[in-house]
A and B are shown apart, each in its own frame.
Chain A
Amino acid sequence: MKKLIVLVSLMFVSSLASAATETLYVQSLKAELKAEPNFSAKTTGTAMKGEALTVIDKSNTWYKVNHQGKPKWVFRYLVAAKPPMGKVSVLADDGRELDKGARRRASVVTTTAAVRGLSAEDRARNSRQGMINFDALEKLDNMVINDNEAVAFLSQRK
């Protein structure tokens, strides 16, 4: 009877454990994994964007996760319950807005649907009234930094 009670208790506990299993996905480009739940702890691994991590425990702003069969800690800010999205853009490859490109050069537009903003008439009106600086906006559109360059720049800091 004792053995039966132990067996039944184990069944109950394991059913609770499986109900609470949680998977999180890395959202940042990469996430450093730590031996302890703090930034000063030893780095014990790196998880890449989109990688799934099973949660074992939590402490404040850290999750203890299973990574390559070993328990490690990941900062909560870098993970989420759903896989990360791909890059979203409203500009066609040639830097023009998708709503204009969609009508004239459909072949260069990405597969994402064109999103209409203000109409051409509204834009012209706003530009004349000085409400929107489209020239500066186009310069801003071109101020894109390559991901790999940014990562390399970060790593060179002292």
Chain B
Amino acid sequence: MPKLFRVTLTPRRLVAGVFVLSLSVAGAFAGQDFRRRGPDTNTDTAFKDADVQAEVRFGREVAGRLLARYKLHENAPLNRYMGLVGKGLALNSARTELEYRFALVESDVVNAYAAPGGYVFVTTAAFNQMRDEAEMAAVLAHEIAHITQRHIVKALSIRAREESPEAGLTRLIGGASDPARVALNQALEKAMEILFDKGLQKEDEFDADRLAVLLLAASGYDPMALPRYLERIKALHGKELKVLSTTHPPFDERLVKLSQTLTAEGIAQVNYPNAKERFQKHVKKK
């Protein structure tokens, strides 16, 4: 076989070769991100103020529709108590740019709802099943997770080809033409359908459960409060459970996955408070 090249490896050539190799490797890796891409870090493309404003405006419209369906429970001290706990959790989340609002709504259906932009509602039936502040925090944390992960915005699928879901929403909200208004109304109806009828994808609910227990732990609440509350709800029968069963995965599946998360994260045995006394004090006042 003919010798095509013959290179004598001198020290100077060795240094130069490795230097060039280092630069090319560094250049190749510089654009990559070694973090495990997961939904619990805000690794999405940078959101503009206008995108977040559109999300909040859209969520407010959804909130208005929800409040036409369920009457606002006008117990100011109780709503304020829930708001203090909810806000405390939200400040430990990744989207502190949102002004969250938490409210009780009157319904004999056990459920809670999260509208984009920071609007969280808990039915009085769901609240009446809570036994301590950590359980209330658990339900709120689950809804906060839906908001931080933009589950509903993504589920609306309103973006144009190269657009993010958020930019699609901005375009809808900013449109003044008749077609734009029709498209906005359709998106709002779809959001209501997700909340009250079809529910989000199973994976989004499991995601919200997982992030909820992590948020509870990060905020110093007993993370076992969520499976404890779900076990109690699972034991209910009848109409109270109807909507929850339609819009969420089966309880057994949720509880198995929660158990796996709690074990994997080492938070199944943490001795964090449930603030039962404070909860009972506020509930007695209602």
Which A residues have a C-beta under 8 Å from some C-beta of B? 1, 4-5, 7-9, 11-12, 15-16, 18-20, 22, 24, 27-29, 38-40, 49, 55, 58, 60-61, 75-82, 84-90, 112-113, 115-119, 122, 126, 130-134, 136-137, 139-141, 143-145, 147, 149-151, 153-154, 157-158
Contacts and interface: CB of A to CB of B under 8 A. Distances in A.
Contact of B68 (A49, A85, A133, A145): A133
A36 to B, nearest CB: 10
Contacts, number: 227
B102 A143 contact: yes
A81 B43 contact: yes
Interface string B83-117: 11111101111111111111100000000000000
Given A40-B270, A58-B36, A133-B67, A113 B18 contact: no
B179 interface: no
B176 interface: yes
Interface residues of B, number: 91
7 contacts: A11-B18, A15-B22, A15-B23, A28-B92, A28-B94, A117-B60, A158-B278
A31 B19 CA distance: 40
Nearest to A89: B99
Contact of B96 (A20, A29, A75, A126): A29
Q: Is the interface of B mostly helix, strand, loop or mixed?
A: helix
B96 A49 contact: yes
Given A61-B265, A157-B273, A86 B97 contact: yes
Given A27-B95, A89-B56, A157-B220, A80 B41 contact: yes
Nearest to B266: A38
Contacts of A27: 42, 93-96
A79 B278 CA distance: 31
A118 B181 contact: yes
A11 B94 CA distance: 37
Given A12-B18, A60-B264, A137-B64, A117 B72 contact: no
B181 A122 contact: yes
Interface string B11-36: 10011001101110111011001111
Interface of B: 11, 14-15, 18-19, 21-23, 25-27, 29-30, 33-36, 38, 40-43, 46-47, 49-50, 52-54, 56-58, 60-61, 63-65, 67-68, 71-72, 74, 79-80, 83-88, 90-103, 119, 133, 170, 173-176, 181, 184-185, 211, 214-215, 217-221, 264-267, 270, 273, 275, 277-278
B214 A15 contact: no
Nearest to B267: A39
B91 A143 contact: no
Contact of B99 (A55, A139, A144): A144
Contacts of B219: 154
A136 B72 contact: yes
A60 B217 CA distance: 15
Given A145-B80, A157-B275, A90 B94 contact: no
A154 B88 contact: yes
Nearest to A117: B57
Contacts of B95: 27
A153 to B, nearest CB: 4
Nearest to B275: A157
B87 A88 contact: no
Contact of B25 (A19, A55, A139, A141): A19
Contacts of B14: 4-5, 8
A130 B66 CA distance: 11
A157 B272 CA distance: 10
Nearest to A111: B49
Given A19-B29, A28-B93, A117-B58, 15 more contacts: A8-B18, A11-B19, A20-B29, A28-B92, A28-B218, A77-B215, A81-B35, A82-B46, A84-B96, A88-B53, A90-B53, A90-B56, A115-B50, A132-B68, A154-B88
Nearest to A147: B91
